[in-house]
Amino acid sequence: MTFTSEAPEVAGAVSERLALQPHLFVDGAAVSATHGGELAVVDPASGHRIGTAACGDAHDIDRAVRSAARAFRPGSPWRRMTPLERGKVLHRIGDAILDRADEFAELEVLDAGKVRGAARSIDVDFAARAFHYFAGWPTKIVGSTVPTSHPGIHIATEKEPVGVVGAITAWNFPLLLCGWKLAPALAAGCAVVLKPSEETPHSALWLAELAVEAGLPPGVLNVVPGRGADAGRALVDHPLVDKITFTGSTAVGQEIARRSADQVKRVTLELGGKSANIIFADADLDAAVEGSAAGLFWHSGQTCSAPSRLFVHRSVHDEIVRRLTAIADGLRPGHGLARGTELGPLVNAAQQDRVAGHVRLAREQGATVHVGPDVPAEGFFHPATVVSDAHDEMACATEEIFGPVLTVLAFDDTDEVLQRADASEYGLAAGVWTRDVSTAHRATRALRAGTVYVNGWGLTDPAAPFGGFRRSGYGRDLGPDGLEGYLETKSVWTFHG
Ligand code: NAD
């Protein structure tokens, strides 16, 4: 098989973005990091440095938070903006993303190691759709009147923006997560400081510029790339930040929850997962195999809801393992911008080592490991891998691997598999493949996960809440529940005699 890990030519606008002076985006303008911090930008598919980004620190976070707090003051242009106008601004941001969809997709490929087709049709499209969806909400945020038993008193509730939001995001969906976090926060009327992952800062910085061009007042959206231990912690600890919305690992989410508790700060946590996916014997096996493989292998398994724990009924187990390994063998690795690439790289060398370590351990623990064909030697690739003959207690069946590694476990009956599937500390997503409607209903009730798919996997919709049970987090992104996370409820009592 021939493949290339070198990037083909990229669009002029993308080269220009990568060549920009390293900057943060604060108070409506590009500014340098106060102490001149820099981050190397590396193309994961080649391992080569392709640019430099600014690395903000606690001082920069303070500047950005103060800018957001000013933008949120009573009487500011943002607070005076009507709900209808706020919705129009959000809509224009969505349009601006789509106007540059191909360039955004290329930028995501180079920054995050994505494959162009998926970056364009999933990341970019979904970011735009989140802004378009939430553009409809500002005019529909309503309170209620309260049927009080007190005579001469009128009570009404009002929904108000929570205030200054600190958003901290992961590297696996840099632009898409901007849509998930920023669109509902802005629809609610909040001001935001976003700290994107240090691995992937470019798309968020570009989006912030476009948002100001779309009519967002300066200071309402600030972007400070930087490291988690420095800029991230400073954002969590800042007393002027009213709420943290976080997408990332469970370990960091736990720390954020602990630190936020000191200030009783509101927190939404979208964390890791080890999602169970169950194929019953009566399922449409073609659809189940294709859907399960696609759900796991796209973005090289670096998705929070990856169906990485696949339970298969023993009667079809061997056939399904055979078909999954054939799919793994057929995935064409390469640079995400090269035509025909189906399997991109992992985000960095540390992640590559981690995934390889998990595969080694599975083999040492006695599982059967099928490693797909060779991948490019340069860059941070890992072959598509299927692990079978595994047990529920093995690390490959319990820990989030975040790589193209699918663990298959055999089961015999429905009660047994529902219990085993549910025996996880995570609860982000789950899936069930069956033609029997009562099996499907039993499973969707039994599986404690924020999203349960029946005969499909992996779609999201801006109108559908997304989030986790248990250690996959709390609170929700997207949909009305996502918006609610950026609102406070105020009861207004009027004594009218
Ligand atoms: P990570 O937790 O290492 O980093 C996420 C973000 O947190 C980054 O911006 C990082 O700089 C910042 N950060 C790190 N330490 C911090 C600290 N002490 N205080 C404040 N901020 C800090 O996660 P990652 O490796 O970037 O992303 C992969 C993880 O994200 C996986 O576990 C994946 O499941 C999860 N994820 C979850 C969802 C979801 O919706 N549930 C979506 C995407 C990714």
Residue 392's pLDDT is: 97
Could you tell me the distance, in angstroms and rounded to a whole number, from the CA of residue 269 to the centre of ligand 1?
10
Q: Is 466 part of any domain?
A: no
- pLDDT classification of 11: cutoffs 50, 70, 90: confident
CA distance linking residue 159 with residue 150, whole number of Å: 23
Q: Is 486 part of any domain?
A: yes
**Residue 423, Cα to own-chain centre: how many angstroms?**
24
Could you tell me the distance, in angstroms and rounded to a whole number, from the CA of residue 350 to the centre of ligand 1?
15
In the chain, the number of structural domains is 2
- Could you tell me if 307 and 298 are in contact, meaning their C-beta atoms sit under 8 angstroms apart? no
CATH number at residue 342: 3.40.309.10
The pLDDT of 201-229, averaged and rounded, is: 98
Could you tell me the distance, in angstroms and rounded to a whole number, from the CA of residue 445 to the centre of ligand 1?
29
pLDDT exceeds cutoff 80 at 102: yes
Residue 3's pLDDT is: 59
Question: Are residues 280 and 237 both part of a single domain?
Answer: no
Whole-number average pLDDT of the chain: 96
**Entry pTM:** 0.97
Among the atoms of ligand 1, which is closest to the Cα of residue 472? 41
Q: Is 389 part of any domain?
A: yes
pLDDT per residue over 291-318, tens digit each?
A: 999 999 999 999 999 999 999 999 999 9
Q: What percent of the chain has pLDDT over 90?
A: 96
pLDDT exceeds cutoff 70 at 5: no
- Could you tell me if 478 and 180 are in contact, meaning their C-beta atoms sit under 8 angstroms apart? yes
Among the atoms of ligand 1, which is closest to the Cα of residue 236? 20
Ligand 1 contact via 255 beta carbon (within 6 Å): yes
The pLDDT of 420-432, averaged and rounded, is: 97
CATH number at residue 226: 3.40.605.10
Ligand 1 contact via 224 beta carbon (within 6 Å): no
Closest residue by Cα to atom 41, ligand 1, is: 270
Closest residue by Cα to atom 14, ligand 1, is: 228
Amino acid in position 212: V
Question: Are residues 358 and 437 both part of a single domain?
Answer: yes
**Ligand 1 pocket: which of 180, 197, 202, 275 to mutate (most atoms within 8 A of CB):** 197
Q: Is 131 part of any domain?
A: yes
Question: Are residues 210 and 307 both part of a single domain?
Answer: no
User: Taking each helix axis from N to C terminus, what angle separates 174-188 and 125-135, rounded to the nearest 10 degrees?
Assistant: 10
Could you tell me the distance, in angstroms and rounded to a whole number, from the CA of residue 272 to the centre of ligand 1?
8
Could you tell me the distance, in angstroms and rounded to a whole number, from the CA of residue 247 to the centre of ligand 1?
5
3-state secondary structure the chain: CCCCCCCCCCCHHHHHHHHCCCCEEECCEEECCCCCCEEEEECCCCCCEEEEEECECHHHHHHHHHHHHHHCCCCCHHHHCCHHHHHHHHHHHHHHHHHCHHHHHHHHHHHHCCCHHHHHHHHHHHHHHHHHHHHCCHHHCCCEEECCCCCCEEEEEEEEECCEEEEECCCCCHHHHHHHHHHHHHHHCCEEEEECCCCCCHHHHHHHHHHHHCCCCCCCEEECCECHHHHHHHHHHCCCCCEEEEECCHHHHHHHHHHHHCCCCEEEEECCCCCEEEECCCCCHHHHHHHHHHHHHHHHHCCCCCCCEEEEEHHHHHHHHHHHHHHHHHCCECCCCCCCCCECCCCCHHHHHHHHHHHHHHHHCCCEEEECCCCCCCCCCCCCEEEECCCCCCHHHHCCCCCCEEEEEEECCHHHHHHHHHCCCCCCEEEEECCCHHHHHHHHHHCCCCEEEECCCCCCCCCCCECCCHHHEECCECHHHHHHCCEEEEEEEEECC
Among the atoms of ligand 1, which is closest to the Cα of residue 198? 11
270 in catalytic set: yes
Question: Are residues 62 and 169 both part of a single domain?
Answer: yes
Residue 7's pLDDT is: 64
pLDDT per residue over 465-495, tens digit each?
A: 999 999 999 999 999 999 999 999 999 999 9
Q: What percent of the chain has pLDDT over 70?
A: 99
Q: How far from 184 is each of 23, 136, 189, 241, 477, CA to CA, in Å?
A: 25, 10, 9, 17, 8
The pLDDT of 12-19, averaged and rounded, is: 90
CA distance linking residue 168 with residue 236, whole number of Å: 9
Q: Is 263 part of any domain?
A: yes
List the catalytic residue out of 106, 270, 342, 400. 270
**Count of C-beta atoms within a 10 Å radius of residue 480:** 13
Question: Are residues 308 and 253 both part of a single domain?
Answer: no
With 0-12 CB in 10 A as exposed, 13-18 as middle and 19+ as buried, what is 152?
Answer: exposed
Residue 8's pLDDT is: 72
Residue 233's pLDDT is: 98
Among the atoms of ligand 1, which is closest to the Cα of residue 250? 32
Residue 343 belongs to domain spanning: 276-461
pLDDT exceeds cutoff 80 at 6: no
pLDDT per residue over 123-151, tens digit each?
A: 999 999 999 999 999 999 999 999 999 99
Question: Are residues 281 and 261 both part of a single domain?
Answer: no
Ligand 1 contact via 230 beta carbon (within 6 Å): no
- pLDDT classification of 164: cutoffs 50, 70, 90: very high
Residue 495's pLDDT is: 97
Could you tell me the distance, in angstroms and rounded to a whole number, from the CA of residue 406 to the centre of ligand 1?
22
Could you tell me the distance, in angstroms and rounded to a whole number, from the CA of residue 141 to the centre of ligand 1?
30
Closest CA to 103 of 25, 31, 175: 175
In sequence order, which residues have a C-beta less than 8 Å from that of residue 479 and are 6 or more positions away? 462, 463, 464, 465, 466
Question: Are residues 78 and 124 both part of a single domain?
Answer: yes
Ligand 1 contact via 304 beta carbon (within 6 Å): yes
Question: Are residues 455 and 478 both part of a single domain?
Answer: no
**Ligand 1 pocket: which of 60, 168, 302, 380 to mutate (most atoms within 8 A of CB):** 168
The pLDDT of 358-384, averaged and rounded, is: 96
Q: Is 233 part of any domain?
A: yes
Question: Are residues 296 and 188 both part of a single domain?
Answer: no
Ligand 1 contact via 67 beta carbon (within 6 Å): no
Residue 375's pLDDT is: 95
Question: Are residues 231 and 316 both part of a single domain?
Answer: no
pLDDT per residue over 34-83, tens digit each?
A: 999 999 999 999 999 999 999 999 999 999 999 999 999 999 999 999 99
Q: Is 4 part of any domain?
A: no
CA distance linking residue 354 with residue 58, whole number of Å: 30
Q: How far from 10 is each of 110, 394, 412, CA to CA, in Å?
A: 9, 43, 51
